[in-house]
Structure formats: structure tokens, C-alpha cells
């Protein structure tokens, strides 16, 4: 009989991704005791498509605990953005419901902070004024709003740029301002939809470290969508894996990598075991697919030699 170990002995030396060290198991036990901040109850969303209804999300149930970090991954089009828009109250479910601190979500509110991939700062306002904006909307006086804003700007390490304008900042810095602005309103939960998707690899790694540091210092729960499997493992307590058509829960994984997390954990057995499981869930047919599907590319080069 041929076992997987015959083809890939190194991979099989990895532990089961469900195995947790006593410290990690104790952390999850404590986490489950914390109050539920967000309750997602049989959530579904259908859209009217050209050829009939499209079920973007079906029957999603999940309870997220206070100060938990949940990442969501899944193939393109599986309903991740639809999901986060429902949590934000920017869209209405066709079935099920969302409860924040036990109260039904019926629209957007300051108890949910949002950070998306595109830079959403006001270009005509300075960093400080961008962060102050939501505070003033909540009715805070300008001096108080400015004092609070500067605290958040400190927290994301941008004090030197407090008077700069968005066009003077790098992509990573803009996203740090967006995080400061979202946190300034003291949300119960931070909703992040691929917030680092447009950043280069090095800046992205820095932002992951910054976000973990910020999360350690702030009483906030994080719901974070990403395409990047390593990013999900590095950041999350639990990873919700969705499948497409319709978007449904495929698996909910408790990440066995101990905290505090660091980039050098990317090669630990627990990390690699989780990575292998995510690969199995997300890319099961990639190899076969690549082999069977060729792009209809027209030959544009006049040079005779082939490159491969």
C-alpha cells in the first residue's frame, strides 16, 4: 500500500494541526470563557443574478469572543466581502442575523470600525484631522478630539507625521492612519477586509507585526479577511475557512501556534502543519487545474526561439 509518507516524508513528519501544546490549549479554554462579542447566527445572503438567484453566503454560524482575532479565508467570490458588509451593517441578510453584544445589527454604527484595502483617508485632511473626524462626528469637542487622536496616532507610531497629508505617506503608513481612525471611535470590533492586500511583501510583514502589537494593547476584537494563508496563521486565534458557490463554512481552525507570534514562527512544525491543512482546503485541485487549462494566448513574438 502506498501511504502519503512514501511521496513526501518531510510533510508527514509534521504534527496534526489539531494538536495543541498545553499552553495553547489553556489559552483557547480561557478564550471560550470570555463573553461573546459577535454572534453570527445562520447568516445567509442571496443576490438576484442574471440567471436566477445567487447564494453568496449560506448558513454561517459563529461566535466570536472578546479580544479574539478571527481570520477568514476562502477562494475568490466565496462571499468574504459580502460577509463583512453584513457585519458592518452596510448590507442586510436574506436569512439569519448578526448580534453585537446581544443586540441585532440593523445598520452601520460606531461600535464597528472598518479598514478596507483601498486607502479611504480624506486626502484634504491632515493625519490628525483624519483621525479626529469620527470623534468630532460623535460630538467630541475639538480639543478633546485632538488629544484622543494624538494618542491613537502615537499607538500606530506616526506621531512625526501627525501634520502630514495622506499623499505624503507610504501605503503602509496610510493603512496605519486608517487603523488609528477606526480605533479612535472605540469600536467593539474591528472589521478588516484584505487591509494589507495592496502592500508590498516587506511592508505587509511590518504591518502584520504592528497590528499584533496594537491588538495586544487595545481591548478590541478583530475580524480580518485575507487571501494570504501565512498571514491568517500569523495573526489569528481561529481561522474560518469558507468554500465557494455557495459560501459556506468549510472548517473552523484553532491555530496551534503559540503567542506572542513572530515572523520566525513561519517555519515551526505547528505553523507548517496548519499551512498544509489550509493548502489542502483552499487549493486541492490547483495542480490538476493548471495542467488541464491553457490560456488562449495569441503568439505575439516574432523571435523564433522558444523560451522553454
Ligand X SMILES: Nc1ncnc2c1ncn2[C@@H]1O[C@H](COP(=O)(O)OP(=O)(O)OP(=O)(O)O)[C@@H](O)[C@H]1O
Q: Which residues bind Mg ion (CB under 5 A)?
A: 80-81
Burial of 45 (0-12, 13-18, 19+ CB in 10 A): buried
182 binds, among ligand X, Mg ion, none (CB under 5 to 8 A by kind): none
Residue 76 near ligand X by CB under 6 A: yes
Residue 122 near ligand X by CB under 6 A: no
Q: H or E element: which one contains 242?
A: strand 238-243
CA distances from 32 to 26, 142, 256 (A): 10, 40, 15
Q: Between β-strands 112-116 and 69-73, what pairing exists: parallel, antiparallel or unpaired?
A: unpaired
Residue 56 near ligand X by CB under 6 A: yes
Q: Closest by alpha carbon to 135, among 187, 87, 88, 89? A: 187
Instruction: Scan residues 82-101 and list those touching ligand X (CB under 6 A).
Output: 82
DSSP label at residue 219? -
Residue 81 near ligand X by CB under 6 A: yes
CA distances from 138 to 112, 145, 150, 153 (A): 14, 10, 17, 18
Of 40, 60, 73, 80, the one binding ligand X (CB under 6 A) is 80
| Contact between 39 and 60 (Cβ < 8 Å) | no
Residue 301 near ligand X by CB under 6 A: no
Q: How far is the CB of 257 from ligand X (least distance, A)?
A: 24
Query: Helices 171-184 and 127-137: crossing angle, nearest 10°?
Result: 20
Residue among 44 and 79 whose Cβ is closer to Mg ion: 79
Q: How far is the CB of 48 from ligand X (least distance, A)?
A: 7
Region from 36-44, 79-87, 142-150, 203-211 binding ligand X, contact rule CB under 6 A: 79-87
256 binds, among Mg ion, ligand X, none (CB under 5 to 8 A by kind): none
In sign, the C-alpha dihedral spanning 44, 183, 231, 172 is positive
Q: How far is the CB of 100 from ligand X (least distance, A)?
A: 20
Region from 72-80, 99-107, 141-149, 166-174 binding ligand X, contact rule CB under 6 A: 72-80
Of 11, 21, 47, 137, the one binding ligand X (CB under 6 A) is 47
Rounded CA separation 176/180 (Å): 6
Q: How far is the CB of 276 from Mg ion (least distance, A)?
A: 25
Region from 32-40, 80-88, 138-146, 200-208 binding ligand X, contact rule CB under 6 A: 80-88
Q: Which residue is nearest to Mg ion (CB)?
A: 81
Report CA dihedral (99, 87, 195, 118) to the nearest 10 degrees. Answer: -150
Q: How far is the CB of 145 from ligand X (least distance, A)?
A: 33
Residues that bind ligand X (CB under 6 A): 47, 54, 56, 74, 76-82
Amino acid at each position: 500500500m502506498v501511504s502519503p509518507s512514501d511521496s513526501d516524508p518531510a510533510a508527514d513528519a509534521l504534527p496534526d494541526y489539531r494538536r495543541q501544546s498545553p499552553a495553547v490549549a489553556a489559552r483557547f479554554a480561557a478564550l471560550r470563557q470570555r463573553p461573546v462579542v459577535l454572534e453570527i447566527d445562520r447568516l445567509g445572503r442571496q443576490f438576484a443574478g442574471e440567471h436566477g438567484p445567487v447564494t453568496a453566503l449560506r448558513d454561517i454560524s459563529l461566535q466570536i469572543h472578546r479580544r479574539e482575532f478571527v481570520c477568514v479565508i476562502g477562494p475568490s467570490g466565496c462571499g468574504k466581502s459580502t460577509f463583512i458588509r453584513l457585519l458592518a451593517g452596510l448590507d442586510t441578510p436574506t436569512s439569519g442575523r448578526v448580534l453585537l453584544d446581544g443586540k441585532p445589527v440593523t445598520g452601520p454604527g460606531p461600535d464597528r470600525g472598518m479598514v478596507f484595502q483601498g486607502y479611504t483617508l480624506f486626502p484634504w485632511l491632515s493625519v490628525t484631522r483624519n483621525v479626529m473626524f469620527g470623534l468630532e462626528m460623535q460630538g467630541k469637542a475639538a480639543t478633546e478630539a485632538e488629544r484622543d487622536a494624538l494618542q491613537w496616532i502615537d499607538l500606530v507610531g506616526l506621531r512625526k507625521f501627525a501634520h502630514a497629508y495622506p499623499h505624503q505617506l507610504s501605503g503602509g503608513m496610510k493603512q496605519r492612519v486608517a487603523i488609528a481612525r477606526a480605533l479612535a471611535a472605540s469600536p467593539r470590533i474591528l472589521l478588516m477586509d484584505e487591509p494589507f492586500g495592496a502592500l508590498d511583501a516587506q511592508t505587509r510583514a511590518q504591518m502584520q507585526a504592528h497590528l499584533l502589537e496594537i491588538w495586544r494593547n487595545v481591548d478590541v476584537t478583530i475580524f480580518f479577511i485575507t487571501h494570504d494563508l501565512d498571514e491568517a496563521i500569523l495573526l489569528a486565534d481561529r481561522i474560518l475557512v469558507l468554500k465557494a458557490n455557495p459560501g459556506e463554512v468549510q472548517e473552523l481552525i484553532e491555530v496551534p501556534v503559540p503567542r506572542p507570534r513572530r515572523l520566525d514562527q513561519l517555519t515551526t512544525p505547528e505553523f507548517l502543519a496548519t499551512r498544509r491543512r489550509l493548502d489542502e482546503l483552499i487549493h486541492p485541485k490547483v495542480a490538476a487545474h493548471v495542467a488541464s487549462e491553457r490560456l488562449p494566448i495569441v503568439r505575439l513574438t516574432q523571435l523564433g526561439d522558444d523560451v522553454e
